[in-house]
Amino acid sequence: MNGKILEIQNLTVRFGGFTAINNLNFSLDKGELRVVIGPNGAGKTTFMDVITGKTKPTEGQVFFKGKNLRPYAEYEIARMGIGRKFQTPRVYQKLTPRENLELSCARKKNVWASLTAGSSTAERRIVVELLDTIGLATKADIPAELLSHGEKQRLEIGMLVAQSPDLLLVDEPVAGLTDEETEKVGNLLLELAESHSIMVIEHDMEFVRQIARQVTVLHQGSVLCEGNMDEVQNNPKVIEVYLGS
Ligand code: ADP
């Protein structure tokens, strides 16, 4: 599908009589970093839920790498190459960052084979590189429970990357972080964007300014506008519903 990793056509999601997503059209180019913003209740989480197969469309289609996802279950869609990072870090607290990353690498393989064989040399090398990328090389071997919230967020982003997804979905990665930690997560996403397709949901406008190239604004379950940060910020409709609020 000519360079599109994700294409969403006429998507509508209703919960009973309530329309959370309303005839939404969206596409993401391979290798693109896109930030999706919108006020509370705009439909951002539902949008992510549909892409990952957690919620099925009431109407419309989601194509990933040209394939219609409708027939597939959430776990099958994950295996097809869509990785999602939820807002709250879900790292194994008693394991070290290195072990967390090794486990994530192993998830790509047959679980039993990976448990019995342990990590291969190639995987161990990938983990060392990832520890460096996420800025945790010096904390590689302490229990993850001793990491700061920001470090855990970066670790979890690393765990996502370790599974080699074709598309990374990242949900509010800087909620509750200090300015310094926020900047580090932003730099990490920018670095990863050089070799990955990434979609980020975000509220924090400073952070959006740091990382955003293309922004999609959702409002009442539809795309209100799309463009670069300047275009979006100066759009009167956006000012009215979001930035002005
Ligand atoms: P956002 O992530 O932008 O804050 P959501 O996707 O969480 O928005 O929600 C969009 C709208 O859909 C909200 O009004 C929310 O209350 C409603 N909604 C979300 N999930 C459900 C559900 N399972 N049942 C009913 N309403 C829902």
ipTM of predicted assembly, 2 dp: 0.96
Residue 2 pLDDT greater than 60, yes or no: no
State the pairing for strand pair 33-37/197-201: parallel
Residue 112 forms part of a structural domain: no
91 assigned to some structural domain: no
For 112-171, the pLDDT digits (tens) are: 555 555 667 788 889 999 999 999 999 999 999 999 999 999 999 999 999 889 999 999
With respect to residue 202, please indicate whether it lies within any of the assigned structural domains.
no
**Residue length of the chain:** 245
Rg (CA), the chain: 18
* CB distance 17 to ligand 1 below 6 Å: no
Q: Is the CB of 176 under 6 A from ligand 1?
A: no
Residue 67 lies in a domain: yes
State the maximum Cα–Cα separation within the chain, in Å, rounded to a whole number. Answer: 59
Q: Where are the alpha helices (DSSP H) in 134-244?
A: 149-162, 179-192, 205-211, 229-233, 236-238
Q: Which of 11, 13, 15 for a ligand 1 pocket mutation test, highest count of atoms within 8 Å of Cβ?
A: 15
Coil vs helix vs strand at 245: coil
Q: What is the CATH number of the domain that holds 9?
A: 3.40.50.300
The number of distinct structural domains making up the chain is 1
Q: Is the pLDDT of residue 189 over 90?
A: yes
Q: Which residues of 35-73 are buried (b: 16+ CB within 10 A; e: fewer)?
A: bbbbbeebbbbbbbbbbbbebebeebebbbbeeebeebe
Give the pLDDT confidence of 44-78 residue by residue, as tens digits: 999 999 999 999 999 999 999 999 999 999 999 99
DSSP 23-77: EEEEEEETT-EEEEE--TTSSHHHHHHHHTTSS--SEEEEEETTEE-TT--HHHH
The atom number, within ligand 1, closest to the CA of 49 reads: 6
Tokens of 221: 């379950």
For ligand 1, whether the C-beta of 66 sits within 6 Å is: no
Ligand 1, atom 26: closest residue by C-alpha: 15
Which ligand 1 atom is the nearest neighbour of the CA of 218? 3
Query: Does 75 fall in a domain?
Result: yes
Q: Give the structural domain span for 10.
A: 1-80+213-245
Tokens of 242: 């979001």
- The reply to whether ligand 1 has any atom less than 6 angstroms from the CB of 42 is yes
